[in-house]
Chains A and B, each alone.
Chain A
Amino acid sequence: MSQANAVRMSSAQLAPQPGPWQVLCSRDDLVANSGVVAWFDGAQVALFYLPETEQGEQVFAIENRDPKSGANVIGRGIVGRIKDEYVIAAPLYKQHFSLEDGRCLEDSEQYLRVWSARLNGDLVEIAA
């Protein structure tokens, strides 16, 4: 197990938080059609904000750690749409992950954790 995982697990145990929606940051922190990263209870969450999707505006929350490189860089990839699915291309090796379920399009052994996220007025919220 990599060290990043070790940290994440132990702090998750330290801070079990009930309640479905938690405030992560504000709308102002997001960058349209691109990503930023937030700290969430010891985890790094990449947030992608798409102002105009078919369902209106949407925020996706996905794990920031790229399993292939081990670096925390997913939030700095390019957002796109491939075969009717919103995806993120990891910046170092360009593999794609579905923003909806976190699976890697090229390699079934890689996947990223995803969280439910929403915009609530000026707040960005995430469900643990």
Chain B
Amino acid sequence: MTANDTRNKRDTLVVIGNGMVGHHFVEQFIEQGGLDRYDVHVFGEEPMRAYDRVHLSEYFGGRDAESLAMCEADFYERDGVNLHLGAQVVEIDRAQQEVVTAQGRQPYDQLVLATGSYPFVPPIPGAEGNSRLVYRTLEDLDAIRAASAGARRGVVVGGGLLGLEAANALKSLGLEAHVVEFAPRLMPVQLDAEGGAALKAQIEALGVSVHVSRATQAIVAGEEYAYRMNFQDDEFLETDIVVFSAGIRPQDALGRQAELEIAERGGVVVDNHCRTSDSNIFAIGECASWNGSIFGLVAPGYTMARCVAAQLAGKPCEAFTGADMSTKLKLLGVDVGSIGDAHGATPGSVSYRFIDEANAGYRRLVISPDGKQVIGAVLVGDNSYYDTLLQYAQNGIKLPQDPSSLIMPVSDGAPVLGADALPDTATICSCHNVSKGAVCCAVDEGCTDLAELKGQTKAATGCGGCAALLKQVFEHELTARGVEVDKSLCEHFPYTRQELYGIIRVEGIETFDELLKTHGRGHIGCDICKPVVGSILASCWNKPITDPALVPLQDTNDTFMANMQKNGTYSVVPRVPGGEITPEKLIVLGEVAKKYDLYTKITGGQRIDLFGAELHQLPDIWSELIEAVRTGHAYGKSVRT
């Protein structure tokens, strides 16, 4: 059979939505060998290929859209995969088995809906333009950035998880940020009254004003600011922009149009295998409603994606049977965690509470009516308790004698649940659904390196929240098998950095070669041990780092005494001690920057960073600077700002 014949016999799979879940689906589908059976067409309404929405706020923190992408640009360029961006699907024609876009029609054999959700904006008279912004996509953030130019104050409507993120974003754009919440507390879904109060106190201490129990009734023109938001009881708040974050709604418009079964509270109804009421159509992620619930988090969406990918690739799959909505986050730098039945809604449940008024800290532990298990928890101010509590809750681990010890402060940080107390079924990484059993398996198969383990199991490569737990379990399993946990720096030195420092000091060793010969193994070292030894030699003996014996030890920045940027050019940072500089010296800096066309930026450490110098320009630049200013050592692990 020729390649062409096989191609003709292939079916067509269409995926609508290229968000986080849609992308994870395609990735899993390819990994499971799905391309042997299908040609894939992915339609995404947004102009950018799938990006990490969870870290969307970092777009304001300096990350560009490209660095948020979920994959390399060429991921969707392989044979059998076609990505159509900026292409909204406007209709599903179930009779013809075709999807319709402005560009034309695309037949399908199987269809996956991954259209996510959209922000809900309550119908408030007067909300429009800059008083009706939302926070979900890169384009939304561009709109907020544009609107904030010249603005002084910004209000976020909605004090949930996303609302607080949005408030932080407004703050980072230099606006005076306010949060207006309809409920009597922040994060009403995840937190109880005391938790909400503690969070409010911490957030206000950070300079974000919080107004609870306020319902916005209309938005009108303001006097001091652009808009005035009118609340009940004649109260009002003026502002230049309003961002709505009042909840999300499943994007189920196509499901409704195609007359698929829709849940009462919205969302395309799916069964335990994510199948909709049409057996050729699946729905995954935030647009799907399972058992009457929508799951507004990444992990459950990924589980659905894996389930459907396996089915379509003809591999065994586990049913989707709901998901844990426990979360731990850092909101404006404040730790917040919520596990299971945070409100203690289970009849007969018993709670323990710990309240730290001095630091606005709060922890609550909810215990099952029989007093045997953790069924919920709330944490505000310190998430170091989270991992252990989650393991107790998820795995039904028997409580300690005094359950309150799980949330009481201890002098040595939070209590940790020994890795051996976890059952094999305990989930370590919920993003990629890796259990303790899977980690043990990998160790049994001979894995002795954490990086290798992550590569093999994918654990700790999603949100990264489980990295510490993974390491702990891994080391425990190694030790249990009599494998000594290797604290060596690398294959060349069976010592830690501290031990090497001692050796170098005490024996007065001055070169890498000498150290390798007397205390190391093998040949020439590697990129782990060379910079470490280079740095120790410099700390101890302070020989010029340009010394020919020292040059090969150093990272490129130390070698070329400048900071490499992502396109291979360097930035040059002269020393400006204490941030004090004479106009004459400032002019020298300006002249050099102008001559070499260097991008110029003031740093947080009160210095001036000149970007975009090519390698061969560095000596010329220094020789012109050096009469006025000296090296700032910004390239080294050394005293900087």
Contacts and interface: CB of A to CB of B under 8 A. Distances in A.
A–B touch (CB < 8 A): the answer is yes
B568 interface: yes
Interface stretch (A9-17, A74-82, A114-122): A74-82
B527 A89 contact: yes
Contact of B522 (A70, A79, A81): A81
A128 B520 CA distance: 38
A70 to B, nearest CB: 8
A22 interface: no
B461 interface: no
B567 interface: yes
A71 B567 CA distance: 5
A73 interface: yes
Contact of A77 (B491, B524, B556, B560): B556
Which of A70, A71, A76, A80 counts the most B-chain CB atoms under 10 A from its CB? Answer: A80
Contact of A54 (B523, B551, B564): B523
Contacts of B551: 31, 34
Contacts of A78: 526-527, 530-531, 552-556
Contacts of A91: 555-556, 564
Given A73-B564, A92-B566, A81 B556 contact: no
Nearest to A82: B526
A32 interface: yes
A94 B568 CA distance: 14
Interface in B483-538: 491-492, 522-528, 530-531
Contacts of B554: 78
Contacts of A83: 491
B526 A87 contact: yes
A76 B559 CA distance: 9
B552 A71 contact: no
Contacts of B491: 82-83
Which of A32, A33, A78, A79 counts the most B-chain CB atoms under 10 A from its CB? Answer: A78
Interface residues of A, number: 28
A33 B522 CA distance: 15
A84 to B, nearest CB: 8
B548 interface: yes
Contact of B523 (A53, A77, A106): A53
A79 B552 contact: yes
Contact of A71 (B525, B531, B566): B566
Contacts of A50: 524
A77 B568 CA distance: 11
B524 A79 contact: yes
Nearest to B523: A81
Interface in A63-105: 69-73, 76-83, 86-87, 89, 91-92, 94, 96
Nearest to B553: A78
Which of B455, B551, B568 counts the most A-chain CB atoms under 10 A from its CB? Answer: B568
Interface in A30-78: 31-34, 50, 53-54, 69-73, 76-78
Given A34-B551, A78-B552, A72 B530 contact: no
Contacts of B524: 33, 50, 53, 79-81, 86
Interface string B544-566: 00001001111110011000101
A94 B527 contact: yes
A32 B556 CA distance: 15
A92 B564 contact: yes
B568 A73 contact: yes
A83 B452 CA distance: 15
A81 B564 contact: no
B526 A80 contact: yes
14 contacts: A34-B559, A53-B523, A69-B568, A70-B567, A71-B567, A73-B564, A76-B560, A79-B552, A80-B524, A81-B492, A81-B523, A91-B555, A92-B564, A96-B527
Interface of B: 455, 491-492, 522-528, 530-531, 548, 551-556, 559-560, 564, 566-568, 615
Interface of A: 31-34, 50, 53-54, 69-73, 76-83, 86-87, 89, 91-92, 94, 96, 106
Q: Which 4 A-B pairs have the closest CB atoms?
A: A80-B526, A89-B527, A71-B568, A33-B552
Given A34-B552, A71-B568, A76-B559, 8 more contacts: A53-B523, A53-B524, A54-B523, A69-B567, A71-B567, A76-B564, A81-B524, A82-B491
